[in-house]
Amino acid sequence: MSNSFSRRQFLASAGLAALGAASLADRSRAGEVRAPVIHQVRLADGVVIEADGGVCGSFAGSSAQDRQALERHLPAIRKLLVGRNAFDMTLEGETLWEAIFPARARLYAQGRDPLTGEKIANKPRGDRQTATGRVFMAFSTVDIALWDLRGKLVGKPAYKIIGQADRKQVPVYWRPGEPNKGLDDARRRAREAYDQGFHYQKWYFTRSAADGDAGMKQDVELVRVLREELGPDAKLMFDNHSIRYHADVDYSVRLCKAVAPYKPFWIEEPICPEHLDGYARIKGETGVTIAGGEHWYTRWPVKGFLDRRCVDYVQSDPVWCGGISEWLRICRIVEGYPGVKVVPHITSPWIAAPHCVASQAGSLCPLLEYNVEGGRKALENNMIRSAGGSMVMEMPAAPGIA
């Protein structure tokens, strides 16, 4: 029996480990293999984790993360990781926050903030991210750096070891942002993108309850114009991001009813993120397809929305929700709800979400978001037109998360 690390043995077990099966660490403890050991964790441009042979995994993380939390908890993070098997799948975001804030994350399931204890259910946020959320974003960065390290150690792109789907291409939807130059410009941009192969498009609503009936009319007109221009075959999504600070359920119900005749592919975040009752009422009264979850931290808030049958696409972002490992846990939860799919929100650093989508079956993760506003430099060279004419992203071949 060889005592050296085997790429074949890891690749056969890593994806399964992420799904909850026995990790390579179990096999190394049994004397079957000897896996690389983590020697150092440091902060540079994000988190850097070094293993045997000087191989380093790194990830910058979201600009919104709590960098001070990483610095504050770095001694505890080092204590948990240094000297451990780099392929121990129990080393993940949850390992870190449970050691530092034991049993706190699950308070999200009760509609409470894990670090303050404050009731947050059915209430709007004062800002896009919460102070507690920024801490969990910091743990996400550590987790994703671990996955980058593992990919580099075996010389494989991360998606090949995160899961077993091994999709070389993933369909994308185009996100151009706000129609801030008027409807004629939006119509032109939508047509140009559609003709290039972006048959799935997501546009932003720019008005909210604070803008009253006149604002709602503008949003509905955007839907009408784009549907008129692109016809019934276009998959048109609309992001209600202007409402994320509001809790006016009546307004959201009226808006969703008004756009329903134009058959949107989905309405995203129809009300502020923790408003479970609002989501349930909007879904129940309008029947529109609803996407949400980019602003949920960890897996703990997810099940309540699924149990109420009020979200059709879960958009948990691996860079925000606790890392790739936590994102995988969310996928396993979603699999228990037939018809619900996972389409992660994508944010800078842009490349984590593609690896997540490509690692899972298309029946669970059918689409990847392409944020043309910010992700062009990182992703544009990977965009190609499929044989069917729709735009897809070709996955990178470089090891790790690149």
Domains 7-156 and 162-394 share a fold: no
399 Cβ contact list (under 8 Å, min separation 6): 151, 152, 154, 155, 156, 157
How far, in Å, CA of 334 to CA of 212, rounded? 36
State the catalytic residues.
345
Residue 368 in 3-state DSSP? strand
Task: Quote the pTM value.
Answer: 0.93
pLDDT digit string (tens) for the chain, length 402 residues? 233 444 455 544 454 344 332 344 454 455 544 689 999 999 999 999 999 999 999 999 999 999 999 999 999 999 999 999 999 999 999 999 999 999 999 999 999 999 999 999 999 988 899 999 999 999 999 999 999 999 999 999 999 999 999 999 999 999 998 898 999 999 999 999 999 999 999 999 999 888 999 999 999 999 999 999 999 999 999 998 767 778 899 999 999 999 999 999 999 999 999 999 999 999 999 999 999 999 999 999 999 999 999 999 999 999 999 999 999 999 999 999 999 999 999 999 999 999 999 999 999 999 999 998 888 888 999 999 999 999 999 999 999 998
- Find the radius of gyration of the CA atoms of the chain: 21
pLDDT of residue 34: 64
Cα four-point dihedral sign 101, 278, 201, 167 = positive
How far, in Å, CA of 272 to CA of 154, rounded? 42
How far, in Å, CA of 162 to CA of 378, rounded? 21
pLDDT of residue 5: 47
User: What class is the 162-394 domain?
Assistant: alpha beta
95 Cβ contact list (under 8 Å, min separation 6): 80
In the chain, domain spans: 7-156, 162-394
Specify the CATH superfamily of domain 7-156: Enolase-like, N-terminal domain (3.30.390.10)
pLDDT of residue 121: 96
How far, in Å, CA of 319 to CA of 83, rounded? 25
